Structure 1
Amino acid sequence: MKKYKLNEITMMQYIMFNSGMAVSFAFIDIPTIMANKAGTDGWIPILIGGLVTMLASVIIIQLMKRYPDGTLFDLLTHYVGRWAGITVAAIFTIYFLLFSYVGIVYTVRLIKGRLLIETPAILILVMLMIPTYTIARSGLRIIGRYAEFVVFISLYIPFIYIYTYKNMHPLFLLPILKDGWQPVLSAVPSTFFGYIGFVSSIILYPFLKNKKQASAAILISNGLTMLAYLFITLVCFVSLSPDESMKIHQPTIYVLKSIELSFIEQVEGLFIAFYTFIFSMSWIPTLFMMAFSFTWIIRKQDHRPTLRAVIALIVVSMLFFFPTYDQLLTLIKLSSLLVAMKCVSNWKRY
């Protein structure tokens, strides 16, 4: 019997997992990040970053084929020793904890700042954590079904931005490469934090029902993520002037202000409310993977005690410290750098 048979996921769920986690809150801010790094050429680093992560993902899958019924932790334990598996598992535990924490705080800040201004942040957090635990405690198969549900009900998003076509000016993108390749290439590393899929694939691979589809699934997943980032970045760049693209906070939401509907006063408010489902993909799967990594270290099967403890810790910590957007960005850069360095050092062993 396979070690993770009871939590096997389909190829579709695997794709939705990786793509949903990657898009989540990065979809909101990536146009500004790219504009500040490479100006109106910021869409080019997204393409390059997507291709690089696709290559990295395929390499990861090829490594995982050496131990198809186990995670990277099992692979390292088998070939190097348990100390190597524990080290990497600990790093991934920290990484997924930081990523989920950033996603939770970002969402709470956005909901409080734009929808529920008078509602205490801690109350919003508790309301989010109750369904989070309900879904995450049920295992990867249930989370996979939730990921499918979230992605399918979010297919309306591209059509919303069609209504902004009156304010689009494609000439804002010209000339291409006006400052050369240097700003473009320097912006590429900033795209990697948005491609979490190649990291999560390390955890999800042994749960995939048909592992022969892993390479195709991760390429499709990263391709969808790249197209989503490319789409929203281009929409923002042609809807806002070059100066506005660099200065406006959360341009993905800002451009929706140009939509006027007789039956809705604020389209962006409705967008945020529905987008909360996608936001949840930044912390529900990653909280599970964090708990999974930690329980692997302590050799336990049940991830629920760890999950309850971490959720309680997050809620209590919010009473004393509520990070700003700049601090959240620093956290995600730190966690991404931490995992990247460790993965490279371990892949060199093979």
Structure 2
Amino acid sequence: MNKPRRNGITLLQYILGVNVTQIGTSILTLPSELAKTATTDGWISIVVGWMIATIVSLCIIGVMAKHPGATIYDVLTHYLGKWFGGAWIIILMCSSLFIAMIVFYEVLRLIKLFILPNTSSGLLAIFFMIPTYMVLRSGIRIFARYAEFVFFFTLWLPILLLVPLKDAEFIFMLPVLKEGMLPILHAVAPAVISFIGFEIAFILYPYLKNKQAAARGIVIANTITLLVYLQITLSCFLYFSPDEITNLLWPTLTLVKPIHFPFFERFEILFLSFYMFIFSTSFLPSIFIVTENINQFFGKQNWQLPICILLSLILAASFVYIPTHSQLEVMSKWWNWDAYIVFCVFPVLFFLYATLHTRWKQRKTV
């Protein structure tokens, strides 16, 4: 299905759309998660995770490039058939919806804890859903513009984390490979999960005007994410001791606390308030994956009904059930295993299958 020209997005919007989708809740917890497994060598795991994420991303582009202008629904049903391809679309939608719910509940919890402790979760959810609906109903082109805005609007947040490094202790990083390579390899799993978001390329690719630059663009997007994660992780490793950081739930927020101004003391509140924009760009793409594929199932374009129903159900859930921190951790662990299969393993296997299928068809016609 060819997308109208007016819905096209630029290469920069495509790059930043992938990047802001990747940088979500993991930016607050990743340094601690890596330190628990690989101590201060965890930054090496991020580099390995970037390599794996880039390979998977290029497999996604490789599959989509075989059918320029086609959607992921078209591609899957072409190679796997209507029923098996449709089944994988449903699995993809369910996984995306699951992460959207996790991000949504994480946003509510952080706002309640740090910013508006006396405001009901339902009211906060309503305020969160209003701008979300406005972006979703406007389509991919507006989301791409919003992603571009969020990137430049929040660019100062990682840079701000360099301020506490006047008290950095470089001895914390030594010696390199202190525990050997095995802990680093074990820490690759959470590092790869932190790059999840590249799957939005399935949705963005058909809208990209310059499709020849898609592979280069997604490598650039992954590299920007890598630089952000390295900068934040190394800042935490240099500021906190190896034992201290493993006991911190949100080391990134703790790193902001020493920053004070004469007119403003609790700077982490301001930091987190701006960070809500980044949270929204993790939530929106997951919903887009669901609604775009529902439209494909029913042969609709710009159908508002799935958006209204989906957001209404998520909003209703916030009035009925708010998970605790431990419950959110369990949900995240479940989704992690699901993400490895759906977003990492499957794109690689599907690329190999599509390549072999294409070559077999070519030989058969010769």
Specify the TM-score bucket, using the shorter chain as the normaliser.
over 0.9
2:108 is aligned with 1:108: yes
Match of 1:185 in 2: 185
Which digits, 9 at most, give the CA deviation of each residue in 1:88-123, with x for residues without a partner? 211111121112111111111101101101111111
Letter in 2 for 1:236: C
Deviations along 1:160-213, one digit per CA (max 9) or x if unpaired, are: 122202221111111111111001011112222221233111221111111011
- Which position in structure 2 is the counterpart of 1:275? 275
Cα distance in structure 2, aligned partners of 1:335 and 1:107: 21
Please report the TM-score for the alignment, with normalisation by the length of structure 1: 0.95
* 1:265 corresponds to: 265
How far does residue 4 in structure 1 lie from its aligned partner after superposition?
4.8
Alignment match, 1:333: 336
CA deviation profile, 1:280-337 (whole Å, cap 9, x unmatched): 1111222122111222223322342111111111111122221234134224314413
Q: Does 1:10 align with 2:29?
A: no
Equivalent in the alignment of 2:138 = 138
8 Å Cα contact 1:100/1:286 also seen in 2: yes
Give the Cα separation in 2 of the matches to 1:306 and 1:331: 26
Amino acid at match of 1:346: F
**Distance in 2 of aligned mates of 1:56 and 1:4:** 28
Given the alignment of the two structures, is residue 176 of structure 1 paired with residue 176 of structure 2, yes or no? Answer: yes
Shift of 1:235: 0.5
> Does residue 1:301 correspond to 2:301, yes or no?
yes
Stretches of structure 1 lacking an aligned partner (at least 5 in a row): none
1:6 offset after TM fit, Å? 3.9
Count of matched residue pairs:
350
SS in 1 for 2:311: helix
Residue 163, structure 1, aligned to residue 163, structure 2: yes
The whole-number CA distance in structure 2 between the counterparts of 1:4 and 1:20 is 25
Helix, strand or coil at the partner of 2:302: coil
Q: Which moved more, 1:168-177 or 1:81-90?
A: 81-90
* TM-score after normalising by structure 2: 0.91
- With over 3 angstroms needed to count, the CA separation of the structure-2 counterparts of 1:328 and 1:29, relative to structure 1, is farther
Query: Which one-letter code corresponds to 1:85 in the other structure?
Result: G
Could you tell which deviates more after superposition, 222-231 or 52-61? Answer: 52-61
CA distance in 1, matches of 2:56, 2:337: 19
The 1:328–1:228 alpha-carbon spacing in structure 2 relative to 1, beyond 3 Å, is: farther
Cα–Cα, structure 1 residues 180 and 125, in superposed 2: closer, same or farther, change >3 Å?
A: same
1:1-350 alignment, distance < 5 Å: 2-323=2-323, 324=325, 325-339=328-342, 340-350=344-354
Letter in 2 for 1:208: L
Q: 1:125 to 1:327 in 2, by over 3 A?
A: farther
Shift of 1:223: 0.3
What do residues 115-167 of structure 1 show as CA deviations (whole Å, max 9, x unaligned)? 10111111111110011001111000011111111001111113312220222
Q: CA RMSD in A?
A: 1.6
In structure 2, give the amino acid aligned to 1:349.
Y
Give the SS at the match of 1:263: coil
C-alpha separation between the residues in 1 aligned to 2:237 and 2:318?
35
Deviations 1:3-33 (A, max 9, x none): 3544221111111111101012111111111
| 3-state SS, counterpart of residue 69 of structure 1 | coil
CA distance in 2, matches of 1:131, 1:249: 29
SS in structure 2 opposite 1:70? coil
Structure 1 CA distance, aligned partners of 2:77 and 2:122?
41
Equivalents in 2 of 1:331, 1:132: separation in Å? 26
Offset of 1:231 from its aligned partner?
A: 0.8
Kindly tell me: are residues 284 and 234 of structure 1, through their superposed partners in 2, closer, same or farther at Cα, counting changes over 3 Å? Answer: same
Aligned mates of 1:135, 1:78 — CA distance in 2: 30
User: Which segment is superposed worse, 148-157 or 334-343?
Assistant: 334-343
| Unpaired runs of at least 5, structure 2 | 355-366
Cα distance change on mapping 1:95 and 1:7 into 2, 3 Å:
farther
| Structure 2 counterpart of 1:330, one-letter code | K
Structure 2 SS opposite 1:178: coil
- On the 8 A contact 1:18/1:196 being kept in 2, the answer is no
Identity %: 35
State the alpha-carbon separation in 1 of the partners of residues 289 and 295 from structure 2: 10
Q: Does the Cα contact within 8 Å between 1:90 and 1:294 map onto a contact in 2? A: no
CA–CA distance in structure 2, aligned partners of residues 332 and 17 of structure 1:
22
Give the Cα separation in 1 of the matches to 2:99 and 2:158. Answer: 26
Q: CA deviation at 1:344?
A: 4.4
Task: Find the aligned partners of 2:88 and 2:240 in 1 and give their Cα distance.
Answer: 43
How far apart are 1:66 and its partner, in Å? 0.9
